[in-house]
Chain A
């Protein structure tokens, strides 16, 4: 397998943050039809194993590119900025303060009069923030200078915070309305 090919090339898609998700899933389907182990089930062991590896690579490529956060991280990695495995980097105190406040309101939601409405409001805030961070990221990424990639990496780190908060909102919702 040509591992030197990046995910975009592997899927014959242009290297861009504004990815056409429809095209992504079409390419993915076409390649699945060629590569999936079920296409090799009546062939030799060797070919089956090879096809498992290829399909796993394809699935990894698709899931990385589909998610806006990991897609941003992947683009930066191609430019030499690895935000996948870095441990906590310093973010500005204003941002951290805001995060603390949001977290506090999440923690207090179950005690409010209308938790469902509060959760929806909080979710809307998180989505709004994520949208604007994605726009900023794209802008910095397209400027394509070492300092703009640095700024794009800061966007990614902030997205990670909001992404995590979003997942916690989902978890709390399950907990509150499932039982």
Chain B
């Protein structure tokens, strides 16, 4: 039988056909796309040769402009030019009131509390704005790689909550990108440094971007990157440094009221000064404000004082995260710096003195995340079947449910390894109660009001019983992307309710479908064709993997009858796949999946046995 095995398990049946997969760093300030070519991961430039795409989207009556061209109009056309949209992802209107500097936009509150930005091209959700950035990167990748993308690994701050992750995934879907994995930015950076090859030990990744801060503590061992703990602040970054300095400018100008365009002018000047101060001890800046011209001298010492509270906040997070990881400073072997804001000298020196070692900065901090994401994408697309690399992540913030009195009861604690599934039982508090509201929240605080509300749904049809007699089991499942699914079940009757958590501030599937439709010029035909293609890909995927599984393990794990039955089912799906009825193919995929489920389970058990084989023998010998 082994003679028939023409392809290695896990490898594409056509080995010459390498699958194109990219890594995307969807940043607050800049975004990048990278790919592995000739064994090396590099970021891809646009036709003008620049690698960084400013994460700026401008809506005009003529169409959408993304990148540098949009950025150059940011202060002239502030309402239609969206910068730092990442800070709005997965947020509700109420959250935005706390975000200084974002006040320049005009928001419309839509159903579900999700804020839409008013632009000349209509109201746009942050998800749509992000999708524009992703589309631009996708087009760039297609042009440089000359082919269709199999999928992408998209990075997110480790500290992103479920709503922010879901929003990012929705944006990718809208841009027509298959997400192979949502990867945490610090983990991607660790991969880029190739620390798996050399090191066995503990590393810290300090990631200060434009709008987010993450600190992750990882343990490396033979190609496995295991995140021990992660912490940070999803609303703290270099933008805040700019705002602090812009605030000082305003004081020097006499603290006059500013309108949107002017405040952006001041923050742009502040950013320029900040960047100059990286290499110079002092910088002179001319401000032209409300008809008033002044020249100011900004020293690095002054700037350091202004941002000190922000830098201290990141150091406190480092201390807490080390504690969560159960690791001392002395055990940390390497500190990796990520994100453009780590160029600020005050940041470097504080990190160095806290960790008692010089941080690593040898890979461009702007590109390191995209480079790491591309390496992971290459592995996930199946191009490297022998790779030992595996990235294990944790849940960044606790997940829980609202209980009596507005308290949050934690079901899964933060820094739990994912994927994870956990259930908790609850009961009714009134006689004859027939329905129960399930309110899912995320965060560390005791009160529901202080946590992020992720979703609410109602479990109905509970039979009337005395208070406390019904048993309702609420099950949480978090996948490898950190995305949550929740189901609830009344145990005595089996009444069930299940939802894929769509965050309170997210888009539902219909909205996404509508937007997708709108984004295609030949809407109907295109959608149908695309749908057919997607179903065919899914059918191929299943057929190929099943074919290979049968070659490798069929003889050993299946009876002749089972084998024959599977073959028949596969032939049926193959026939459907060659036709053009998308929904029939979808149906066929689901039928064959179910029919082959037992085989997949047997293979999984077989691999567990194989993985542990040596040990069981040792233990048995040891005992006898």
Interface residues of A (CB under 8 A from B): 1-2, 10-12, 14, 27, 29-39, 41-47, 50-57, 59-60, 62-63, 85, 170, 174, 178
Contact = CB atoms under 8 A, between A and B. Distances in A.
B487 interface: no
B611 A59 contact: no
Given A11-B612, A35-B604, A41 B420 contact: no
Interface in B597-624: 597, 600-601, 604-605, 607-608, 610-612, 615-616, 619, 623
Contacts of B221: 29
B605 A1 contact: yes
Given A42-B382, A53-B421, A33 B593 contact: no
Contact of A36 (B319, B390, B538, B612): B390
A42 B20 CA distance: 12
Nearest to B222: A29
Contacts of A46: 542, 593, 596-597, 600
B418 interface: yes
Given A42-B10, A46-B542, 6 more contacts: A12-B612, A36-B390, A37-B480, A43-B545, A44-B546, A59-B418
Given A59-B416, A59-B419, A52 B477 contact: yes
Contact of A30 (B379, B382, B604, B611): B611
Contact of A31 (B319, B541, B608): B608
A56 B615 contact: no
A1 B604 contact: yes
A43 to B, nearest CB: 4
Contacts of B222: 29
B479 A37 contact: yes
A38 B541 contact: no
29 contacts: A1-B601, A12-B616, A12-B619, A29-B221, A29-B226, A31-B611, A31-B612, A32-B392, A34-B607, A34-B608, A35-B607, A37-B479, A38-B181, A38-B390, A39-B390, A41-B382, A42-B10, A43-B545, A44-B589, A44-B593, A46-B596, A52-B477, A53-B421, A54-B608, A59-B416, A170-B323, A174-B320, A178-B319, A178-B320
Contacts of A29: 221-222, 224, 226
B479 A52 contact: yes
B391 interface: yes
Contacts of B181: 38, 41
Contacts of A36: 390, 392, 480
Contacts of B565: none
B601 A27 contact: no
A55 B608 CA distance: 11
Given A37-B479, A56-B421, A50 B608 contact: no
Given A11-B612, A60-B420, A63-B416, A44 B224 contact: no
A11 B589 CA distance: 33
What 9 A-B pairs have minimum CB-CB distances, sorted nearest first? Answer: A42-B382, A44-B542, A56-B421, A46-B593, A12-B612, A41-B380, A43-B545, A59-B417, A37-B480
Contact of A27 (B381, B541, B612): B612
B530 interface: no
Contact of B608 (A35, A53, A170): A35
Contacts of A60: 420-422
Nearest to B543: A44
Residue among A31, A44, A53, A54 having the largest count of chain B Cβ atoms under 10 Å: A44
Contacts of B382: 41-42
Contacts of B615: 12, 27
Nearest to A178: B316
Interface of B: 10, 19, 180-181, 221-222, 224, 226, 316, 319-320, 323, 379-382, 388, 390-392, 416-422, 425, 477, 479-480, 538, 541-542, 545-546, 589, 593, 596-597, 600-601, 604-605, 607-608, 610-612, 615-616, 619, 623
Contact of B388 (A33, A59, A63, A85): A33
A105 to B, nearest CB: 22
Given A30-B611, A45-B538, A50 B479 contact: no
A56 B477 contact: yes
B390 A50 contact: no
A38 B589 CA distance: 21
A178 B601 CA distance: 48
A35 B421 CA distance: 15
B417 A62 contact: yes
Nearest to B606: A34
Scoring B388, B420, B422 by chain A CB atoms within 10 A of each residue's CB, the highest score goes to: B420
Contacts of A44: 538, 541-542, 545-546, 589, 593
A31 B380 CA distance: 18
A30 B607 CA distance: 11
A130 to B, nearest CB: 15
A38 B385 CA distance: 12
A29 B390 CA distance: 9
Contacts of A55: 419, 480
A44 B538 CA distance: 7
Nearest to A56: B421
B424 to A, nearest CB: 10
A44 B590 CA distance: 11
Contacts of B593: 44-46
Contacts of B319: 178
Nearest to B545: A43
A2 B605 contact: yes
A129 B595 CA distance: 55
Contacts of B421: 53, 56-57, 60
Contacts of A59: 416-420
A32 B223 CA distance: 12
A56 B419 contact: yes
